[in-house]
Structure 1
């Protein structure tokens, strides 16, 4: 039996297919921008463009780590709860010590620890990812609500606030962070052995195991990365809002999943890119921003988001980008 050579570069055809899918999404984002610019003058204002970029960057932090999990055929439903717990613990440490660095380490460490727990549940206990992360979501929610007891922690040092509200050369700091992590994520998934192994696991975990890939270790790694990115997102949200409370992450999980799916990631595994997830985050942010500018009721926004996700997945299925069957 031949083995899978994960070091072999992807064929030109596969690369071109990825580029085509990215081009389609860029075209979709461009058409949305064109439509909004023609229907309202407020869309092209500098303040609104900056707001769109900032919101997209916050969504990207969550969705980029989640994308790695989805590439393996898994799912992390605990992202929002993870953000809430990480933010509340980071806020507590910052208020107690006055150190943004120590608080930041606690936030990142908490997020990574939650991701490791998810990875262990999925690999060592063989619990399906959906069930494992759904269970940890509720456990973390319970811990966070009990810990906070309805209280709010607010008022953080200016140097920490700059992480979410600061500007550099007129551009929000989170946007620069987004570019940095886009580069890191793209290099990791496309140019390293670890990244190629993640794609191989998503495409066929049995074949990946027979080829000598340490499947369990790589699964723990991607869940840990997803948790670490949730920890980073918690710090950016905390710095942006200047307050922490138990329900800070309640509404964040589904938009992160939507951004990854709109960006071309397949829940069946093996398909997707971090750059595609960024475009998905931009598309989702543009649509929601446009509805806000046009005065569309917030009650319609979940409906529109769901319709966009279904349409994006359907288009990919029709164009051969995804398959519900494993080879």
Structure 2
């Protein structure tokens, strides 16, 4: 530090803050939000902290200063613990006779209230789904919009609530659904649903999990107007609800005897407690075969991946794709898997 000029000392101070914050965030997946809900909020900022530490590492490396070891050390811990924030692998999205393609999509009521400007957004969404032709599609914030026609799927299961506007979760399938049901979450319209489909001689359980929303406005100006203390408290309370919902889901999941696939909008990142608990020993299809940041939510501040497809180890993840079609505040994801 003595050999650093004043500006570099200031830079290194903020470097230390960013490195310590990132290091602290690495333990958050192991701390139930009910134990320390306010600290859990830090998990949302992990992508930013990673990018900041990369910038600090490059800054010191360019100046040939040994201070680059600080961020390098913390980033290395994160990489070996959680993998890379950015994936360089590519997916082919090829289908074989033995493959099963699953799409997950939070459709935001099929743009019922014109959040996305443009003509016939709801029919464009359906055309997109029809073009990609998944065998199974899992919808969060589904609404039986009068202008949509998903009859090209042979089977479906919907779990809707609301009086004036019906909405909820749904799963559509090209394969027979032999069983279905819902895991109710108290004091919310969010829930988890499931179907058991039959493909050849295999019965496969597909879950659709939608955890409590954080209700964070993607508009920078509106978010800046919100009191920071109230924001942190509200998000912390939401994390506590997500933990309770996760516990209910895991209790149901534990009773399942079939190979399973979990489609989800967790409203939380891959650095969170709820992600770690729900994933368990399943494969994250994006981490296996995805590429890029895997952004699934239109959040202006940093790359956000909160929608996941988790796959039983009995399957091979052959491909994964995140689509950039902007018809909702979420982006659709699709994976192709096959039995070993």
| TM-score when normalising by structure 1 | 0.26
Bigger share in helix: 1
Bigger share in strand: 2
| TM-score when normalising by structure 2 | 0.26
- RCO (CA 8 Å, sep 6+): is it higher in 1 or 2? 1
